[in-house]
Structures are given as structure tokens and as C-alpha cells.
Structure 1
Amino acid sequence: MVIKNIEISNYRTLNGLKIDFHPEVNFIVGLNNIGKSNLLKLLNTLSNKRNFLDEDFYEEDKPIEVKLSLILDEDELGIFEDLFDPENENQINIVAIQEGPNENITYKHLETDTLISNTIIRKLNFIYYDSLRKPSNELNFNNKTGIGRFLSYLIDLYIDGKTEQSKNIIEKSYIQDLLEFINSKLMKIDTFKSNKINAEVGDEVREILSRLILLKNNENFPLEKLGYGIQFSNLIPLAILDKILNIRKSDKSFENSILENESGKKILPITLGLDEPEIHLHPHLQRKLIKYIFKIITNEQSDFNSLLFEIFNIDFVKGQLFIVTHSPNILLDNYKHIIRIYKDSSGKTLVTSGVNIELDKDLEKHLNKHMQHIKEAFFSRTVILVEGDSELLAIKVFAERLGIDLDEYEIGVVSAGSADSIPPLVELFNSFGINTVSVIDGDKKGESKFHSIPNLYITEGQDFEEDIYMYFSFPDYIRYLEEQNRNDPKKYLFFMGHAKKLGIKINPRERPVYKELERIGKEQNLNELKDLLKSEVLASLRSNKSIMQGRLLAEAVTEIPQTYKQALEKAVELSIYE
């Protein structure tokens, strides 16, 4: 059972939104306080609680109404008896209504208004995890709440499988001297003595073991003393097991929740909601954790499945994943997994789901292949697209020189890899409500594929390198070469022969050379020399393109090329709104 879509009325900041979901993984992204976490709280309330709270009502005098469509597997048909979508027997459309803060949620079939029991909705088995939990309170065998409930259950499993004799793990005679010592001291305390309270060895072996066993790493450090990242990463898979244990407490509920496929495999459907699981995690651990969870819910984690069978006698879980995140490291390489909540220039909250974006199949394959390079853009208000790596860092340097803080305006910069990749990226980002500003080389100016690109800027010269050279004064360009090649004078004195032909007298022993050029430039025009060297310089720049060269050129160029200045100013303009 997966949630296909949801339509929300009068719930918090999500009032008026309709959201379509991917059947496996959904990454909910957007600015802070836009309502991402509210979506998880909404799903948790629908699946696990009887009613919404006062603060959930967007307007107190109106009901909260949520329409949701669920897709059922063949094994799940009949759960809702003869209630289904008229056009699709594997789909059911449900309306959840709560009239006011003091009422309970009522569930009805959309088409027939037939009441639906909330126990059926609970079959979503929604597991809600947020980063506000304190793992040290849960990751121990002595806690009967939260994750500790499952760890304690492991001890119960062990004890229940042993004989009475083997359960007697502690003999009182071994610690009799200790007990006598303790009691001799306690009996000097009147409240202990008058109430006849003594220290004794407990008879409950489960309690003894739960206090005795600790979780430690291979260096003998207790888990609670390790970093929060390690602690949190262990909470999530245990939260799944704890949810199953909770369902297992009721034999009837557990039996009704289990599905059996044609191969006789027992399956438990789950829905997992994670709120910012990246907190406290190193980027590599973020990626590793999400890939691991994804394998669990798609039946690709054999060890976890083996554990499920040993403890609960089920073969695997099958689920749908909802993740609220601010980290590009969390995202998998498929834009269809992304749901972006954002505001338009008028302040209206909107949402775009990747499942609704249809691109050419070859293009889609190409984009997903390069997703790792563009993930950060999904967290931006505006993205500046450039052709290659040379411009990637150059744009950021130009922004610094103009006093523009790209982070403040939430502007991302993406290297498309080629001009041909810019139109599909523009289409993708615009579909997600992300503004784009694109910069292409002048040699692509006449190509029709770029005519419809919004906010397109074209270099004045043939490419980035020509624009850079155009906006260098000749002394500043030689200064750039001299600073980069101090031990190789040939690289910055290459112009001497041409200067001599033009009658420009330069002392080659004078250092720094650019200072000599600045002095001469006050008396003679050096533009003719610069123009004479243009072909040679551009050939050199184009043959040595790199992300670092782009940065160094951007730092050294006399003036910021007009095209890039205008592109940055446009990006700022597009990003200024509430």
C-alpha cells in the first residue's frame, strides 16, 4: 500500500496543496519554515493518531480535510472490501475530515461517502523519525520505551528460549559478602532499617541482563559516548524493528497486517517518514545510510531480511520512504524522487513533484546520470548555468568582487558540461519552480535551441576566454602571467618580439615586468600590442582550460566582463522576494 497523492485543506502551512508521490522514495526539499516537516506530521497523524491538534488548524473555524489516494498491490485487494476508484480497482480514494479541535478524524470513501475504520488506515504502518530524539536515552537494553523496547525484546527472546536451569545466571552465594557489606551500611540509615529494606539479588533475570549488557564499539567505547552521527544512524533501522514489534503485540493486528505473495513470502508494508536524518552525519555516512534504508524497503538487504524472519517470521518489508532534507548528499540520482515546496514571487506556497515532470527518455537518462553534479541546485532560489568548469568558479569570484553573497540570495551555480545540456537543465529546474540564468558562449548565438531560454546571456566574444582577455588591460594580463610563472620568464616575456616590432621599448631585466608596462602605458597605447597577441593568448588559454584557471583569471581580470556581471545581477533580482 503506497500513498499516490494527497490534497490538503486547512492544515498548517500546507493549506491548499496537492502533492503527488513517488511509490518508493520521496525527498521533500525547500526553504526553512516552508512546511516540509508539516507533511510528515500530517502523515503521522493520519496513520497513528485519532485527531489533529489545535495548532494544526490553519483557520480554527474550518475543518481540516485531507484527500488521499492509496495504491494497493494485488495481495492487498479486498482490504477496503468493495470500495475502490471507479476507474482503477487497485486505487482507493479516501477523505479524512476533522470538524474542529475537539473532534476526532473521520475517514470516508470519496466516491460513496462510506465510513472507513481508522484501523485500516493504520495499515500504512507509518514510522515517524525526527532528529530531536536523544539516542542515548533509547540505545540501551534497559529502556522499555522507544528503540530500547526492541533491544529489551531481544533479551526476552533469548530468555524465553532457555530452560529454567540455564536462566539462573547469578548465584547469591557468589555475591553474599557484597550483600552483607552493603546491608551493614544501609542498616545505619533509619529509613531503611525501620522499613526493613535490604539489598538483595533480583530474581528477575531479564532485569539483570538488561542492566548488564551495553552497546560498545570495537575499541570498547560505549555507544552513548560515541558521536551523535553514529548514534543517530543506528536509530533508524531499529525504529523500523520497534514499529514491527509494536504491531506484533496484537496477534490479530499483526496477522491482518501481513501480506503473502504468490511465492508464499510474508510481507509487511511500511511507510517511513524521516525528518532531516542528515543531522550529525558526515556526507559519506549520509549517503550510506539512505542507500541502506532504500535497500531495506525494496527487499534488497538480505541480512536485515534474515533478521526479520528470525524474530518476526516475516520475509521482508516493502515500503514507501518520505525524507525531509536540507542536504544534497541525501538525494539519490533520480529527479523523480524530489518534491520541492516553495513560494512564488507573490508569496503563494506551491509544490512540484518530480513524478509529474515528463522529459524525453534519453534526456532523462542523461540528467539522472549527472544528478550528482546538480543536486545542490534543488535547494536554491535561482541557479546560474554555465557551460563548463572554467566559468564555474569564475562566477563565484565575480560575485565576490561585486559584493554579492550567493548564499545570502540562495543562488546556486551549475556547470552544465556543455551548451547543449543547458536547455534540458533549464527545463528541469524551471519545472521545480527554480529560477534560472544561463550563460553561453558567443559561438552558439545563432542556434535555435537557445532562442526560448529565459534569462539567457551570451558572451561578447566567442567564449569565456575571449571575454576575459577583452576585459584585461595588457599590463594586468602580464601581471597575471608573471605571478603564476615566476620561475619561467619565457611565459610572461613572450610578447617582447612583438613589442619591439611596434617600437615599444621595454627593459626585459626590469622586475616586475608589468610595472614597466604600466609606466609605458601612460605614454603609449598598448592596445595594438594586446590585439596583435590575441590569437596566441586565446590559443594558450583555451588549451589549458580548468576550474582553477577560471578562478585565477576571474581574480586577476581588470574588469568583470559585462555578460557575467549582468547575469549575476539578474540572478539577484530573481532571488529577492519573500
Structure 2
Amino acid sequence: MYISNITIENYRSFKSIKVDFHEGINLLIGQNNAGKSNLLRAMAIIFDGSAKKQLTVDDFNNDILLDDLKKAPPKIVIAVSLSQSENENLMGDELVTVSNWLTTLEEPYQAKIQYEFFLPNSERERYLNKVCSLDSREKIWDLIKSDFIRMYINKIWVGNPENQVVVDGENLSKFDFQFLDAIRDVERDMFSGKNTLLKNVIDFFMDYEIKSDNSITVEKQKEQIQMRRDEFSSTAQDLILKLQTRLKRGNKEILSYANEIGASFDKAEPSFEGKITESEIYSILQLIVKQETGMTIPISHNGLGYNNLIFMSLLLAKMQVDSDGKYLGSNAKVFPILAIEEPEAHLHPTMQYQFVDFLKTNIKSNKVKQVFITSHSTHISAATTLDDIICFYKNNGNIQVAYPGKAFTFKDDKGKKIVQNKSKKYVQRFFDATKSNMLFAEKIILVEGIAEQLLLPVFFEYLNKSLEKSHVAVINVGGKYFEHFLYLFDSNNEYTINRKVACITDLDPARRKKSDNENQNKYKTCYPYEYNSSIDEFEYMYNELMNKYGKGKHENILSFVQPEKYGKTLEYQLVLENPLSRIMITESIANSKELNDLMNLFENNETLSKLMNRLSSSDENTRIIESLKRADASWSEDDKKKALLASRYLNSVGKGENALELASALKDNLELKDKVGYQKFVVPLYIADAIEWVCD
């Protein structure tokens, strides 16, 4: 059995929402105030016996319309559906526990439990009479708070809620809902055996080598454990006798005061005796950290992160205790649920990965049935599978839910189900902490490589925009692999995250020699001015992978590329649009003197011929010169000079190192704006368009 979904109406941030779950880990991610914590609290209202069932006016959703408030008193509904697990034993305790909750009898069975917080029908007419003349929601809420909230009642129904069958408290108590909220003091709860949690765990795991020995009968186990208890009792009594012997003389002195004040009478006098039980000894046990050197330190001296992990391990141990039928009999829990808010609060990224593995191990060993985690950590999202992730986000002020693992399954135009397993596996494989940031961002720019990733934040500043304030994430997909990731955001399909996504890609003109055997001659990159210049000898192509996301073709995804006639790559375009910018010539760049000379010649308005003459002797430079000479008449001399500069620059840069240096140089230059030494820099138009669009 597992919790398959929850439906919430009018509770806190939720006006109306349904969220689907699956067995194992359910990771709830998303921006602040998107409802993640409120969802866990809604579950706690039903399953946590210590949670308050009687709510307040502040627990109602504030977006209930005025007309709706006038038609009927507001009501909070939280409904949880449970479904049969794939390999569930139908003769087990789980089905017995929810047998009265069933809404579907055939396999897989479905069960339902529903909490309602509402105004009784006896008060309904009085409510309607009082609100009919009120003209604002604020006045109605004030009225509810002053006159009606104390009249509200809560009920928990099971099965079909229309039948109003009240839940049996004994069955509900079989659910063990453990909730660790974001603000927790785990050290306070686990210092010593005085704490109930630690005491219960110690008691259960005492003599565990006997309790877990399946080679002997239960009766034999009890016999061996009783022998140990008798031995402990005998040893403890010896200790007490030794204490009494050591107190013999002192006891007379202590009791002499009692005699003097008349406390001894009727031939009776005070004395001392005692008895020690095992559970009383637990209180003197304290958790410590034992180091490899043999040194020990108190748990209070440990780091918060480690203490959180230790506390969670104790909590899971307690859940194992509470679900052990041999130990607790009919009082044992049958469905342990662990809910954790923001586990990353005290955990280093490496420990976050270990934390997720730790939970997976405990799920496999059935120490917990389902785990619900809220998180803002890209490390935790990267450590889980796409199927584990449930993404909360706001769209036009409304909370929406997306399921990244399901985004690769959709229907085509004819209604046929399509599953893009290849793309799903690709995204899962390369979904590291950096790339998983796309699930948290409000707006996204996908880029091909490290150069764009390093330079985009600086380009934002040159356009007087802030990457952070615009809530934009720049994600490097490591090549022309946009399509794999775009399944997560395609608003035409179910389960996706409806976010603005700009894809910045290179035009990459290419050509190949015409041949009967096309497989032998692959396309090779060419310069823009070579494109279609020798159509008898070559076949040509542009990068058309992102054409389907061109302007006006998709609701929330748009591709941006260099102009067809003049474009090639980012590095080429940088110099094409900044032919006089010496900032472009960084320390690591090759041919720096030659590039400087070429820029000087261009600045002095020298002829194309002079720029060609300055090129060093090489096969590639000869190709550039000859190709520019053959370029068609639509290429002006100025176009050709810029193209020569851009081509030479492109052949002189190394992608990563140069981009890092260029980003730094551009940043330094920006600090000189309106001062002496500032150099004008133009963000390539196609990138500027992408930034403007995504920030709009």
C-alpha cells in the first residue's frame, strides 16, 4: 500500500490542487511559498496523532471569491487516496487496516480518507443571513473570526465521503507519521537515554543478537533474554548491597537527626534500600562520537549536520521498533511515513547525496514505506531520479504541479501515446546539481557550452539587467542537446513545468563534397561567406535543430541563433559585432599581435587587401583569403573585413579558458563605464534578443 495522491481545497496556499505520489521517495521541490511545506502539514492533519485537528481562520486560503463566500461558509477539505502496491501481500495488515476505507474493491484496490473542517448545517442559515449584506471578503473573514470560527467542527471520513463513515481511531493509529520540520533542535532530543525516543530504541535493540536470531524459536529467545535480565538483576542487587555497606556507619549519623526531631516513633525509623531496573540504567547512557584514535566526544560537540543524520537514523530505528509486530503485538504500526523539511539546512553537498542513499536503503529494507522531502537543494534533486521529483511552481499567481519523470510521455496529434525513453535516460544521466537548477528557476536560458555559460551573466550586466533579480538560470547542456531537456518544459504536454525557456544555439554553417556515397563524406564546418559559393562542388546546411522553436512557433520556448547570412559561432559573432574591441584579445589567445594589427588596419579604414596581406601564412588563412575573394556580390568590402577579423579570431581562441578571461575582462571594463579607459562593447544581437525576451 502507498499514498497515491492528495487533494486539498481551501487550505492555506492551496485553493484547489491534486498532487500524485508514488512508492518510495517523493521529493517536493520548487520556489519559496509554492506550497511544499503546507502539503506536508495537510498530510500531518490526517496521519499525525499529535497534530491539531481544529484549525483557525488563518488556515483558510485567502483567494476564495466573494461570491463563493456568500453562497456557502468556507470549508477545508484534505483527501488522501491510498493504492495497492505492486507486490503487496493482500493477506497482510495493510489491507486489513484500510478495509473500511476502500472505494475500489478490484485490484489494484483504492482506499480514501478525507478530513473536513466546516461549519455545521445548524449554523449555515445564520451565516448566510449575516454575510448577504457584506461587500468585501475582508469583512466576511472578520465576521467568521468573531462569530463563527468557534462553531466550526472537524471530521475525518473514510471510504466514499458521501457516506460519512467516521474513521476508526485504532485503524488510523496504525499509521506512523514522523515529521521533521525545517526548524528543529535535534540535539535537545537525543543527548541521553532520558529521552523517550532514545529510550525506546535502546529497549528494542537490547539483546538484539538474540531477538534477531531466526535459528532459534521465539520461546528460546525469551528464555535467553530472561536469563540475561536475571543476571543483570543479581548484579544490580550486589551493587546496592555494596552501597548499603558503605553507608552503614554514615546512615546512623544521618538518622540521628531524625531521632532528635522525633521522626522515629512507634519503634520505626527511616532507612535506605533500592532496586535498579534496566530501563532506569538507560537514563545514564549518553550518545558519544567515538573516533578512530579511540578518543570520544559528547554528541553535543558534534556538528549540526552529523547530528541531524544521527537523529534521522534514530528516528528510523524507532519507526522499526513501532512497526515490529513481535515486539508490540496488535499495537504495532503498519504504515511508517517519514516527512522531512529541507534536510539540506545543515548538510554539506556530499552529505546530501549520502542522505538520499541512506533513505533509499531504509526504504528497500522496509523500515519506512514512503518518504516525503521538501527541498531547495539541487544536490538532493540530482541525487534522486526524475520519477521521484514533484515540482511546485507558480504560474500567474496559481500554484501548479509538474512531474519531470512523466514529461517524456505524451500523445501525438493522432492521440497515440509516445514515450521518449532515450531523452529521459539522457537527462537522468547528465542531471547533475548544475543542470537540475533548471527545475527551480522561474526563467531559463539553455546554452550549448561553457563559453556561453560564463559570458551570459556579464552580458546581462551590459544590458542593465540582473540575472539574479530576473530569476533566470543559465544552463549549459553540453552541446546541441536542447531537445532532450525541453521535454521538461513543453507546455503543450501534460506534467511539464510551464516556464519561459530561451535556447541560444550556433548557426554552424557546414558543407560536404557531393558524392555518391553520402556516408563517407560528412558535413564539415565552413565560413558564412563560403556558404553556397560552390554549389556544383558542395552541399550545404545550417544547424536547423531548433527551427521548430522559432519565433511564433511555440508558447513558452523560443530559440535564438545568429543571422543566416553572417552567423557561425559565438566567438565569431563577438568579433563580427565588435571589430574594434581590444577587450576581445585575452592573455591566453593565440596570434594576439596579428589580431591587434588587423584591428588597427580596420580602424584606419584600410583596404581588405591590406588586411589579407597581414594574415600569417597558413593553409587556413589561405582558405579564408580565397573564400572571401569568391564571396558573392552581396558581401560588401566592410562585411568581408569584419568576416576576416572574426574568422582569424575564431581560429585563435580556446573555448573555456578564453571565455573565463573574457568574462573577467568585460566585468572590469564595465566598472570603468563613464570613466576614462572604458571600451564600448556590444552584446551580440541574437543573445541580446534572448535576454530581453526571457526577462520580459
TM-score (norm 2): 0.65
Contact 1:297 1:318 in 2 (8 A): yes
Contact 1:339 1:354 in 2 (8 A): yes
- In structure 2, the CA distance between the partners of 1:504 and 1:273, relative to structure 1 (3 Å rule), is closer
Contact 2:320 2:367 in 1 (8 A): no
Structure 2 partner of 1:237: 313
- The answer to whether the aligner puts 1:70 opposite 2:136 as a matched pair is no
- Please list, as runs of the form range in 1=range in 2, the aligned pairs for 1:253-402 lying within 5 A after superposition: 253-254=331-332, 257=333, 269-299=335-365, 316-317=366-367, 319-331=369-381, 332-345=383-396, 347-354=397-404, 356-359=406-409, 360-372=420-432, 373-402=434-463
3-state SS of 1:350 partner: strand
Q: Which of the residues 554, 558, 580 maps onto 1:474?
A: 580
- The answer to whether the aligner puts 1:56 opposite 2:59 as a matched pair is yes
- Please list, as runs of the form range in 1=range in 2, the aligned pairs for 1:147-296 lying within 5 A after superposition: 147=198, 149-151=200-202, 154=205, 161-162=228-229, 163=231, 164-168=233-237, 170=239, 173=242, 203-204=276-277, 206-218=279-291, 219-246=295-322, 251-254=329-332, 257=333, 269-296=335-362
Structure 1 partner of 2:686: 563
In the aligned structure 1, how far is the partner of 2:440 from the partner of 2:254? 64
Per-residue deviation, 1:14 = 2.0
Per-residue deviation, 1:5 = 1.1
- In structure 2, the CA distance between the partners of 1:387 and 1:181, relative to structure 1 (3 Å rule), is farther
Q: Which of the residues 99, 119, 127 maps onto 1:81?
A: 99
Structure 2 partner of 1:572: 695
In the aligned structure 2, how far is the partner of 1:238 from the partner of 1:63? 38
Structure 2 partner of 1:263: none
In the aligned structure 2, how far is the partner of 1:183 from the partner of 1:281? 58
In the aligned structure 2, how far is the partner of 1:337 from the partner of 1:95? 25
Deviates more, 1:170-179 or 1:23-32: 170-179
Per-residue deviation, 1:440 = 1.4
In the aligned structure 1, how far is the partner of 2:451 from the partner of 2:77? 52
- In structure 2, the CA distance between the partners of 1:531 and 1:363, relative to structure 1 (3 Å rule), is closer
Q: Which of the residues 458, 463, 476 maps onto 1:415?
A: 476
- In structure 2, the CA distance between the partners of 1:321 and 1:185, relative to structure 1 (3 Å rule), is same
Per-residue deviation, 1:153 = 5.3
In the aligned structure 2, how far is the partner of 1:554 from the partner of 1:2? 51
- The answer to whether the aligner puts 1:545 opposite 2:605 as a matched pair is no
- The answer to whether the aligner puts 1:532 opposite 2:644 as a matched pair is yes
- In structure 2, the CA distance between the partners of 1:194 and 1:26, relative to structure 1 (3 Å rule), is farther
In the aligned structure 2, how far is the partner of 1:392 from the partner of 1:351? 28
Higher relative contact order (CA 8 A, sep 6+): 1
Structure 1 partner of 2:562: 459
Structure 1 partner of 2:489: 429
- In structure 2, the CA distance between the partners of 1:56 and 1:241, relative to structure 1 (3 Å rule), is farther
Structure 2 partner of 1:128: 179
Q: Which amino acid aligns with 1:251?
A: G
Deviations 1:443-480 (A, max 9, x none): 356444444452322124212111112233435157x2
- In structure 2, the CA distance between the partners of 1:176 and 1:473, relative to structure 1 (3 Å rule), is farther
Percent identity over the alignment? 22
3-state SS of 2:296 partner: coil
Q: Which sections of structure 2, spanning at least 5 residues, go unmatched?
A: 63-68, 120-148, 210-224, 410-419, 491-495, 509-541, 615-636, 667-680
Contact 1:445 1:458 in 2 (8 A): no
Contact 2:83 2:108 in 1 (8 A): no
Per-residue deviation, 1:251 = 2.5
RMSD: 4.0
Per-residue deviation, 1:275 = 0.8
- In structure 2, the CA distance between the partners of 1:93 and 1:136, relative to structure 1 (3 Å rule), is closer
Q: Which of the residues 489, 492, 499 maps onto 2:593?
A: 492
Per-residue deviation, 1:568 = 2.0
Structure 1 partner of 2:610: 502
Per-residue deviation, 1:186 = 13
- In structure 2, the CA distance between the partners of 1:147 and 1:28, relative to structure 1 (3 Å rule), is farther
In the aligned structure 2, how far is the partner of 1:282 from the partner of 1:234? 15
In the aligned structure 2, how far is the partner of 1:428 from the partner of 1:186? 81
Contact 2:78 2:116 in 1 (8 A): yes
In the aligned structure 2, how far is the partner of 1:288 from the partner of 1:436? 32
Per-residue deviation, 1:110 = 2.2
In the aligned structure 2, how far is the partner of 1:374 from the partner of 1:551? 19
How many residue pairs match? The answer is 514
Contact 1:6 1:18 in 2 (8 A): yes
In the aligned structure 2, how far is the partner of 1:186 from the partner of 1:64? 66
3-state SS of 2:158 partner: strand
In the aligned structure 2, how far is the partner of 1:277 from the partner of 1:187? 60
- In structure 2, the CA distance between the partners of 1:143 and 1:56, relative to structure 1 (3 Å rule), is farther
Structure 2 partner of 1:99: 118
In the aligned structure 2, how far is the partner of 1:538 from the partner of 1:169? 89
In the aligned structure 2, how far is the partner of 1:25 from the partner of 1:570? 37
Deviates more, 1:30-39 or 1:169-178: 169-178
In the aligned structure 2, how far is the partner of 1:560 from the partner of 1:497? 21
Q: Which amino acid aligns with 2:307?
A: Q
In the aligned structure 2, how far is the partner of 1:401 from the partner of 1:456? 21
In the aligned structure 2, how far is the partner of 1:183 from the partner of 1:539? 101
In the aligned structure 1, how far is the partner of 2:279 from the partner of 2:352? 35
Contact 1:383 1:411 in 2 (8 A): yes
Structure 1 partner of 2:136: none
Contact 2:77 2:116 in 1 (8 A): yes
Per-residue deviation, 1:375 = 1.0
In the aligned structure 1, how far is the partner of 2:275 from the partner of 2:579? 87
Q: Which of the residues 438, 444, 463 maps onto 2:503?
A: 438
- In structure 2, the CA distance between the partners of 1:497 and 1:132, relative to structure 1 (3 Å rule), is closer
Per-residue deviation, 1:571 = 2.4
Q: Which amino acid aligns with 1:339?
A: I
Structure 1 partner of 2:122: none
In the aligned structure 1, how far is the partner of 2:390 from the partner of 2:44? 18
Q: Which amino acid aligns with 1:398?
A: F
Per-residue deviation, 1:242 = 2.0
Per-residue deviation, 1:86 = 6.0
- In structure 2, the CA distance between the partners of 1:277 and 1:497, relative to structure 1 (3 Å rule), is closer
Give the structure with higher Rg (CA). Answer: 2
Q: Which sections of structure 1, spanning at least 5 residues, go unmatched?
A: 258-267, 300-315, 507-524, 574-578
- In structure 2, the CA distance between the partners of 1:555 and 1:530, relative to structure 1 (3 Å rule), is farther
Per-residue deviation, 1:237 = 2.1
Deviates more, 1:347-356 or 1:461-470: 347-356
3-state SS of 2:435 partner: helix
Deviates more, 1:350-359 or 1:215-224: 350-359
In the aligned structure 1, how far is the partner of 2:476 from the partner of 2:593? 30
Per-residue deviation, 1:229 = 0.5
Contact 1:3 1:68 in 2 (8 A): yes
TM-score (norm 1): 0.77
Deviates more, 1:364-373 or 1:331-340: 331-340
Contact 2:573 2:646 in 1 (8 A): no
